[in-house]
Amino acid sequence: MIHTAAQHNAVRTDLAFQRCINPVCGATYDSSELHTSCPKCSNLLDVAYDWDRIAVPKHLNEFEAMWSQRTNPVRFSGVWRFHELLPFAPQDRVVTVGEGQTLLQQTDAVGEYVGMDNGKLHLQYEGMNPSGSFKDNGMCAAVTHASILGAQRAACASTGNTSASLALYCSATRLMKAIIFIGSGKISYGKLSQALDYGALTVQIAGDFDDAMLRVREVAKELGIYLVNSVNPFRLEGQKTIMFRVLEALRWEVPDWIVVPGGNLGNSSAFGKAFMELKELGLIDRVPRIAVINASGADTLYELHERRGVRWNGGHVNMDPIVQYNDQMDREGIKADTIASAIEINRPVNLKKCLRALEFTDGVVRQVSDQEILDAKARVGAGGFGCEPASAASVAGAKMLRREGVISASDRVVCILTGHELKDPTATVAYHTTDQEVFHKTLGSRGVTKASFANKAIAVPNELDNIIKAIQLYA
C-alpha cells in the first residue's frame, strides 16, 4: 500500500522543532529548516516537541487499538501507528509503504545458545520490513520530512541498507530522485541489487563508508540535496517506533535489556530518545539497559566508551580522547574491517547521541569477533529467523554479556535483528560451504577459522539408490 503526501510547500507545525543536543548551545530551529548539524556549534540536532500541546494517549495500550484500523494507511504503518509520539508532520502528509509490520519473536532455541532461561530471549525481526531492513522505519519519516520541504532529490552514503530503503521509497512514491554513495567493494550484492533495481543514481566512491559519508555531506550541502543518513534527526524519529513495537509486544512491560548492533549508532540513539520521551511523558516508569555491540573490526564506540572512558556527562563530552583516537586512526591508517559490512564504520556520526542513550539507560558496549558473529548468525538461522551478519552481532553480544554475568539468565532480553538473511547470502553460503577454498577466501581473512554450526550440503551421485541411502543416513 502506498500513500504519499500531497505536494505543496513546507508547513510549520511549531509543535515540533529542531534543537541542538549540546546543552550549552541548545539552539532551536524550525522543523522546515534543512540542517545536518547545528549551524551555531556543529553538534547534532534532535527533533523536539512541545508535548504540553500534543494529545498523547494517557496509556500506551491505546496504540494497540490504532492497529485495528487496517484500511487507514497512517495507522496501518507500524511507524505512523504511533504518530502522536513523533508528531512532526500532519497525518495527511505522511509517507508510508506499509513499513514496520514487524514482530517480536520469543525463541528458546536461540535463548539456549545465549544462555537464557526459557521464555526470556526475544528477537525483534526488523528484516520483515518492505526493503528487508530496519531502515524503512526511519526512511518513511525522512522522506515525509523531505516531501514537506519540497525536496526533489535525496541522497545518502550507505553500507547498503540505507540505499536500498531510500531507493525503494523514491521509486514507490515518485516523490524525489534517490542518489546513493557507496564505497568500492563494500556493499553486498543483495543490497546493491535493490538500489540498482529501484532506479537510484548510484555513485561509487574509491574509498570506504567513512569516505562516502564525508563526501555525501559535502555534496548535499553544495547542491542543496536532502540528506537521509542518520545525522538527519527526522529519520531517527521513525526509528524510535522499533522500541514502541517491542513494548507493545511485551504488553507494555519494559524489558531488562535491549541489545543492538552499533554502526553509525542511529538505532541506539533513537532507542535512547524513545525511552527518554516515554519516561518524560510518564508512559513508562523504568527504562531498559541498552547494550550496543560493535564488530571488533569496527569498534570505535567500544574503544571510546569502554577503554577510554568517554561519557555523555550531561552533554559535556570530553572531546580530547575522541580527537586523539581519530588522529591515531588517520596516522596508523586504521580502516574498519568486518564480515558484518553493515556496521563496518569507524567514525560513527551519532556518537554523541549514542553516549547520551548509554548514560540515560546505564548502557554498556561490547565488541564481538567475526567468528562470534557468524556462529550466532547460524544459530539464529537454525532457530528459524535468519538475519544478515551485522544483525547477529546483537545475539553474539548478548551471549558475551550473559557469559560475563552482566545479563542474568532470568533477565528479559530483546535482541534487534536489523536486516534480513537474504541481504548477504555470500557470508551465509561461505559459512555452510563444503568447499574449503571458498570458506578461507571469504571468511579466513576475517579470522574465521571454523564453522561449528555449519549445515553442509551432502554430495551424492545422481542415482536413486544413493540418494535414498543418503537421506536415510542423515534425516
Task: Answer positive or negative: Cα dihedral of 431, 437, 440, 442.
Answer: negative
Indicate which single residue of 167, 343, 364, 401 sits in contact with ligand PLP (rule: CB under 6 A): 343
| Minimum gap (Å) between residue 236 Cβ and ligand PLP | 9
Q: What part of residues 297-336 is at the interface with ligand PLP (CB under 6 A)? A: none
With CB under 6 A as the contact rule, the residue among 5, 48, 179, 265 that binds ligand PLP is 265
Q: How far is the CB of 169 from ligand PLP (least distance, A)?
A: 16
Name the one residue in this structure whose C-alpha cell is 570505535. Answer: 300
Q: Is residue 190 within the footprint of ligand PLP (CB under 6 A)?
A: no
Q: Which residues, 6 or more positions from 404, have their beta carbon under 8 angstroms from its beta carbon?
A: none
Q: Burial letters for 258-281: b for 16+ Cβ neighbours within 10 Å, e otherwise?
A: bbbbbbbbbbbbbbbbbbbbbeeb
CA distances from 318 to 86, 272, 298, 352 (A): 31, 20, 21, 10
- Residue 57 CB, shortest distance to ligand PLP, in Å, is 27
Q: Is position 102 an interface residue for ligand PLP (rule: CB under 6 A)?
A: no
The helix/strand/coil state of 391 is helix
Residues with Cβ within 8 Å of residue 19, at least 6 apart in sequence: 26, 27, 28, 29, 45, 46, 47, 48
* 167: Cα separation from own chain's centroid: 17
Q: Minimum distance from CB of 317 to ligand PLP (Å)?
A: 18
The reply to whether 428 sits near ligand PLP by the rule CB under 6 A is: no
Nearer to ligand PLP, 255 or 266 (CB): 266
Taking the least distance from each CB to ligand PLP, the nearer of 179 and 182 is 182
Identify which range of 93-101, 218-226, 258-266, 356-364 contacts ligand PLP by CB under 6 A: 258-266
Type and span of the H or E element at 416:
strand 413-417
Q: Residue 263 interacts with ligand PLP (CB under 6 A)?
A: yes
Q: Taking the complex as a whole, how short is the minimal distance between the CB of residue 343 and ligand PLP, in angstroms?
A: 5
Instruction: Give 336-386 as a DSSP string.
Output: ---S-GGG--SS-TTHHHHHHHHHHHT-EEEEE-HHHHHHHHHHHHHTT--
Q: Which stretch binds ligand PLP (CB under 6 A): 69-77, 91-99, 156-164, 302-310?
A: 156-164
CB 156 within 8 A of CB 183: no
CB of 129 or CB of 442, closer to ligand PLP:
129
Nine-digit cell at 354? 549514542
Instruction: Annotate each residue in 387-426 with x if it binds ligand PLP (CB under 6 A) or - if it does not, as one string.
Output: -x-xx--------------------------xx-------
3-state secondary structure of 7: coil
Q: Grid cell 541411502 — which residue? A: 469
Q: Which is nearer to ligand PLP, 185 or 405 (CB)?
A: 185
To the nearest whole angstrom, how small is the minimum distance from the Cβ of residue 54 to ligand PLP? Answer: 26
Beta strands at 28-30 and 16-20: parallel, antiparallel or unpaired: antiparallel
Task: Select from 113-121, 261-269, 359-367, 464-472 the region that touches ligand PLP (CB under 6 A).
Answer: 261-269
Q: Which of residues 211-230 bind ligand PLP (CB under 6 A)?
A: 230
Residues 104-143 that bind ligand PLP (CB under 6 A): 133
| Length, in residues, of the chain | 475
Least Cα distance to 121 among 432, 421, 445, 411 occurs for 411
> Which residue, 60 or 390, is less far from ligand PLP as judged by CB?
390
Q: How many residues bind ligand PLP (CB under 6 A)?
A: 19
Q: Which is nearer to ligand PLP, 148 or 260 (CB)?
A: 260
Q: Is 232 in the site for ligand PLP (CB under 6 A)?
A: no
Is 264 an interacting residue with respect to ligand PLP (CB under 6 A)? yes
- How far from chain centre, in Å, is Cα 209? 16
Q: Given candidates 139, 166, 342, 373, which one binds ligand PLP under the rule CB under 6 A?
A: 342
Helix crossing, 389-404 with 370-382: angle to 10°? 100
Segment contacting ligand PLP (CB under 6 A): 248-256, 383-391, 432-440, 465-473?
Answer: 383-391
Closest CB to ligand PLP among 75 and 235? 235
Residue 468, C-beta contacts closer than 8 angstroms, at least 6 positions apart: none
Smallest separation, CB 454 to ligand PLP (Å)? 22
214, 22 Cβ separation under 8 angstroms: no
| Of the candidate residues 161, 346, 369, 371, the single one contacting ligand PLP (CB under 6 A) | 161
The C-alpha R_g of the chain, in whole angstroms, comes to 22
Can residue 261 be called a binding residue for ligand PLP (CB under 6 A)?
yes
Query: Closest CB to ligand PLP among 25 and 196?
Result: 196
Nearer to ligand PLP, 159 or 371 (CB): 159
Q: Which residue, among 262, 280, 267, has the nearest Cα to 240 in the 3D structure?
A: 267
For residue 469, what is the enclosing H or E element?
Answer: helix 464-474
Quick check: 398 and 407 in contact, CB under 8 A?
yes
Helix count and strand count (H, E) for the chain: 17, 13
- The residue range among 56-64, 101-109, 263-271, 282-290 that interacts with ligand PLP, by the rule CB under 6 A, is 263-271
Provide the binding-site residues for ligand PLP, judged by CB under 6 A.
133, 159, 161-162, 230, 261-267, 342-343, 388, 390-391, 418-419
